[in-house]
Structure 1
């Protein structure tokens, strides 16, 4: 644990908390609300908190890439002190010895995230490798962040953009043109895709969806571009002397619209698909990631309205910890039932699941508030 929040962007913590809220318990609140009060708006919200079956996209499909995008935005800020200490302006100018230290630190962080992903997937149940899922959300975050960091540290912005486009075009070409035994080339189904084939051939352990894994090997490559989008935004925000705030907002909004339109157009030939992390998916969600960020950036960093997002900041400042805990390491439901179950039983039966879901969120926020007040943050 680290005992400092110094140097953190509040808007980033709030956005990180916003997307993590839906994973840790928010989705259960909305699902229960839709059943208790089946109004069209609640039913639609509930439908958006499920992954798309295959092609297409829902809000829930955006949560993971937005989180990875935020990790990319943080990168230029996290290296800022190192640049100042070395009296250089860009990461490429850092001395070789300093870069080596950064590489080792990044590798350590990635390895820890991969191992934590194993733990979340049940490694400590010791069911044998064949029954353990090795691919994970945390593992993909670590790997995509790591390789995006390598690109950021060693190439100027123009070459970073070439890497971004090259990865997406290269992934598209591989998925469309490399044949899969018994299926041929360009078959973008669960069984017939190149991504699924590579997972079945080279990814040890249990696959999440039997014939492929949504956090598999090949589809981690375009996730690097998702992280790079965040790096571009973080770099742009740090360029304080070149653009006024209003111009920055206009440029960010324009870029978001272009990315969304690019994803929609690419969707005709390479469908928007979170399971395969297609190039159209990267562009489409990347655009919305920028729009989400603009919303929090304007309200928090520009207008200074902090109080209303405090619960999100609690979540965002310890997002990895609450993710690991909520994924099964801590039984929040048991604690919530013990504390609030007696009161909830006196509410109307149809509303009891809703209040039970709220009570879980309340217990989680209590834990996060305690950690926040103690300045204890899981820093990897």
Structure 2
């Protein structure tokens, strides 16, 4: 629900609900890496307990379907027949890749050391490549689109590159995004003991501190998915997971709390609904006065500032998505892959 709230914001929205321009960390930046942490946790919960060999056909099918849905949703945002304008990267595509990587790690063996060691190795390698590898002028750079990360995007990404010279879900940043999922596997395995809440909180604090130390070497940056970004966001995710475990027995009796469970059980469906709503609000394609612009103008004419118009618009859009989800859940018409 927080991801939806962030995605419906405009450029005038509050800074905390907008992604950092480059280096830095806002609430909006935390959402996606925690999704990938959850991918690792949930994949471990789903596959670790199986006594039979992993059903790779089902695993690959699930990953391929997630990737295909992500590409299809990108096409809805730009419904053109020009393949050069189709964006092949995105949120669901990265989730699919991280899911497949997590499944592969789980098949290697049990225990938290393997995914933990791989996660640390991946982010260390990524940091070395970022800081030691030049592009074009043979000078390493962390500026937007100028370093090795942007070069790889321009050379290897087909179709549309979202930012022109680089993509926030680009080639090189996909490698450390897998580390976010690997940390999730390690947390799910290590924190499965009776004192799991304390273990999660301890692991979260250690990861945040490690990320802050790593930030002295490489800055926290979502677009590059730097090591410090992986560590800090994984730590925040672990702490949030511990808080959720501790608070849920107190919150469960309340109906409003169970609404989050209902949305979580239909996360893919409500994500698709919100993307289709975004596509609708962008109509007409290429027009100067889109549906979203008219609605925002109406809120500002009612006396709201540009910032609060953005916030209210996003809240109303998320509410509409939740209302659309209700009849689908009642009829069992949910997307499952």
Q: TM-score range by the shorter chain?
A: 0.7 to 0.9
2:136 alignment partner in structure 1: 181
Pairwise CA RMSD of aligned residues?
Answer: 2.8
Deviations 1:272-313 (A, max 9, x none): 100000111000100101112122222225764452323322
Aligned partners of 2:329, 2:7: CA distance in 1, in Å? 17
Find the counterpart in structure 1 of residue 17 from structure 2.
49
User: Does structure 2 conserve the Cα–Cα contact (< 8 Å) formed by 1:114 and 1:142?
Assistant: yes
Q: Deviations over 1:116-160 (max 9, x none)?
A: 111121167233222111111110010011112101111333222
Deviation at 1:67, TM superposition (A): 1.2
| Counterpart pick for 1:132 among 86, 109, 122 | 86
1:147 equivalent in structure 2: 101
1:279 is the counterpart of 2:236: no
- Which structure's relative contact order is higher, taking Cα pairs within 8 Å and 6+ residues apart? 1
Is 1:374 equivalent to 2:327 in the alignment? no
Structure 2: state its 5+ residue gaps: 283-290
8 Å CA contact 2:3–2:28 kept in 1: the answer is: no
Deviation, 1:183, is 4.3
Distance apart, 1:331 and its partner CA:
6.6
Q: CA separation in 2, counterparts of 1:302 and 1:70?
A: 22
Residue 256 of structure 1: aligned partner = 204
Q: Is the 8 A contact 2:115 2:185 kept in 1?
A: no
Report the counterpart of residue 104 of structure 1 in structure 2: 57
Between the two proteins, the alignment pairs up a number of residues equal to 317
Q: State the TM-score, normalized to the length of structure 2.
A: 0.84
Contact 2:43 2:102 in 1 (8 A): no
Residue 285 (structure 2) aligns with: none
Deviation at 1:357, TM superposition (A): 4.7
- Matched with 2:173 is 219
- Please give the secondary structure, in 2, of the residue aligned with 1:360: helix
Partner SS for 2:62 = helix
Tell me how far 1:24 sits from its aligned partner: 5.8
2:110 aligned residue: 156
Q: Which moved more, 1:66-75 or 1:295-304?
A: 295-304
- For residues 224-246 of structure 1, the C-alpha deviation after alignment (integer angstroms, 9 at most, x for no partner) is 11011111222234x3xxx433x
Aligned to 2:187: 233
Q: CA deviation at 1:368?
A: 1.6
The match for 2:318 is 361
Is 2:42 the partner of 1:119?
no
Distance 1:218 1:357, change over 3 A: closer
Higher Cα radius of gyration: 1
Partner-residue secondary structure (3-state), 2:88: coil
The 2-side partners of 1:286 and 1:198 are apart by: 26
3-state SS of 2:129 partner? helix
Q: Which runs of 5+ in 1 are unaligned?
A: 1-17, 32-45, 87-93
Tell me the SS of whatever aligns to 1:277: coil
